[in-house]
Structure 1
Amino acid sequence: MRLLPADEPIPGRDDVLGQAIPFDRDRWLPLLPGTGWWPAELDDCPRVGRRPHVDRRTVFGTARRANTSEGRRHLLVAALVWGSGTRAQSVARRARTFTESSTQDIESRLEAGLCLLREQGAVAAYFAFNNDQKIRQLGPAFFTKVLYFAGHEQHVGPWRPLILDSVVARALRAADPGTRWRGTGWTTPRYDRYLSLVHDHAREAGVLPDQVEAALFNYGKRLT
């Protein structure tokens, strides 16, 4: 199955890693459980105009420390910052992750889910974060970001984890009309199908799966 129109470009790997999002440090810090949750990598991000910008490459850097409790906290925050931008409403919504659960609960569930990612792969970890290890206010659009950064470079099983959000789902609805692609709340079988389709497309195109994911996102943004 072809996921993208023939004229839809697939971005290069460097372009994907360089995808940068502006953020406001001063808006985030008061909303975190403590200053120890803020990753130092974000303070080294370059400024573009008025704001620093964090790219995928930087978040991957935090993910390489996810074998420690501090590293997992930093990965979670970096993924949320990268996915939220600077709008106050978006930041406040994402920060509810830290107000509706204790830090101990967040840390234990994060550790359990990422352990499954390392041991059993992306689909098992998706099921965990969507069910028994669910973190309140951390839905699939954002916990798949955590999975992606934690496991795309080093993965177990046939699939590298990928981000699935409403924009990517919009592109999937156009490419895969026989499957019901909702705007959120995807089941584990839907995530498994998504990974299968993207990996097949990536193999045929000779690229990495996150390049296809980025192309789907770009395509989805233009759909109504």
Structure 2
Amino acid sequence: MTDLSTLSLPEWARGAAVVESPVLIKPEWWRDEISARHLPGTPPVEDRITRAGVRAPADDVFTLLWRTLAWGSGRYLRLNAQRLTSIAADVPRCEKLLTEAADRARSDPGAAFALFRPGVRNEIRYLGPSFFTKFLYFAGGGAPDHPCLILDRRVATVLRERCGWTSLHRKGPWPAETYERYCGLLARWGRENHCTPDEIELTLFNIFSVDQN
């Protein structure tokens, strides 16, 4: 297990411009599929969405989840039909889970993560860490001190290959302990470099795209 206390934010990530482009989505697909399953919440209505748009005050946890899934998926809708069907199978249970996870996300990343993945299976089928950590992040409403961050394969790959976290699996799924360590690492880097942890996360995400080109 990599000793994260020895890792420093690389020079190339310090003071990097945080660039975010709107994500193109298919609002008509979300409207039709959510309506067909009689699911609660309001689907996104615009054909593009930003992080700020996801974080906008939501009517309920389902509205927040639909925005999160749309933003995370873009125009590639793989597995989203299965996710919606899984939620529709037991809406009250999913609502309770989402509500509790959103509440835990404000203070305890590890516990919030463990609600979605308490063992080797996801509590909501087809909703794995790369997507439910997005929900945990957006549950913070944009607060700079919100402790939960997005962890997906792009961020994990850059942390492993360019930042020295050699024990981190590139694709996951990761256990709750790893997620808690990840959030703690980026929080420390943020304090040391006078920026917010999510700015570092977005920088890592963007670097992955640069490395692939």
TM-score range for the pair, normalised by the shorter chain length: 0.7 to 0.9
Distance 1:196 1:7 in 2: 17
SS in 2 for 1:163: coil
Q: So what's the TM-score if we normalise by structure 1?
A: 0.78
2:145 corresponds to 1:184: no
Task: Name the counterpart of 2:74.
Answer: 85
Cα contact 1:169–1:220 (8 A) shared by 2: no
Moved more, 180-189 or 134-143: 180-189
- Closer, same or farther in 2 for the Cα pair 1:152/1:27, shift >3 Å? closer
Cα deviation, residue 189, structure 1: 1.4
Distance 2:13 2:199 in 1: 15
Matches within 5 A, 1:111-190: 111-118=99-106, 120-131=107-118, 134-151=123-140, 153-154=142-143, 160-174=147-161, 175-190=163-178
Task: Name the counterpart of 1:98.
Answer: 84
Task: Name the counterpart of 1:29.
Answer: 31
Cα contact 2:13–2:200 (8 A) shared by 1: no
Cα deviation, residue 163, structure 1: 0.3
Residue-pair matches, total: 199
Q: So what's the TM-score if we normalise by structure 2?
A: 0.82
- Closer, same or farther in 2 for the Cα pair 1:144/1:54, shift >3 Å? same
How much identity, in percent, do the aligned residues show? 28
* CA RMSD, 1 decimal: 2.5
Q: Deviations over 1:37-56 (max 9, x none)?
A: 334xx32x4xxxxxx21000
Moved over 3 A (4+): 152-155
